Amino acid sequence: MRFTTPGRKAAVVAVLVAISALLTLLFDALHSEAGSIVLTVLQVIAWYLASRLFRGPGEPVQQARPWWRMTSRPLLSGAFAAVYGVLAVVNIGFSFAGFWSLSGTVSILAELVLAALFAVSYRRLASLARATA
């Protein structure tokens, strides 16, 4: 199954965000450090799986996406890389300010992994765009 229209992509993202929010509220209410870590890992996996299922205009629908391709456009990959990079820096700052926790460290690592994946996607998509222009 591949999602090619903006509406279907938005629906998938909305479902993922809703599930994530519900689990976040549940684990927060239970004060579960382990639950927060599991949720962070699941969120990274969900992002990566969504990037495998989404297709942009002109992308082949049947063919598997290369492992490095997170979006269909370099600008979008670059924007996500920047957002996750900034989130990681902010959370590192919170850790140094005394808000350190194991789940916070896992979150920082997850943000750095996502920032790196989106940055690789940005660089490769941008070089492909330059090569075909």
Residue 77 lies in a domain: yes
pLDDT at 33: 87
The whole-angstrom separation of Cα 16 and Cα 125 is: 26
Distance CA 20, CA 83 (A): 18
pLDDT score of 56? 87
Q: Do residues 68 and 124 lie in contact, with contact meaning Cβ atoms separated by under 8 Å?
A: yes
Provide the terminal-to-terminal Cα distance of the chain, rounded to the nearest Å: 31
In a domain, 1, yes or no: no
Cβ-based neighbours of 102, under 8 Å, separated by 6 or more: 33, 37
pLDDT at 8: 86
Q: State the Cα–Cα distance between residues 45 and 51, nearest whole angstrom.
A: 10
Q: Is residue 33 in some structural domain?
A: yes
Tell me what pLDDT residue 36 has: 86
Closest to 85 measured CA to CA, from 60, 111, 107, 46: 111
Q: Does residue 53 sit within a domain?
A: yes
Other Cβ atoms within 10 Å of 93 Cβ, number: 10
The tally of domains found in the chain comes to: 1
Q: Quote the DSSP letter at residue 64.
A: P
* Domain-embedded: residue 71: yes
What is the pLDDT tens value at each position of the chain, 133 positions in all? 678 888 888 888 888 888 888 887 887 777 778 888 988 998 899 999 989 988 888 888 888 899 999 999 999 999 999 999 999 999 999 999 988 889 899 999 999 999 999 999 999 999 999 998 7
Q: Which domain holds residue 122?
A: 6-132
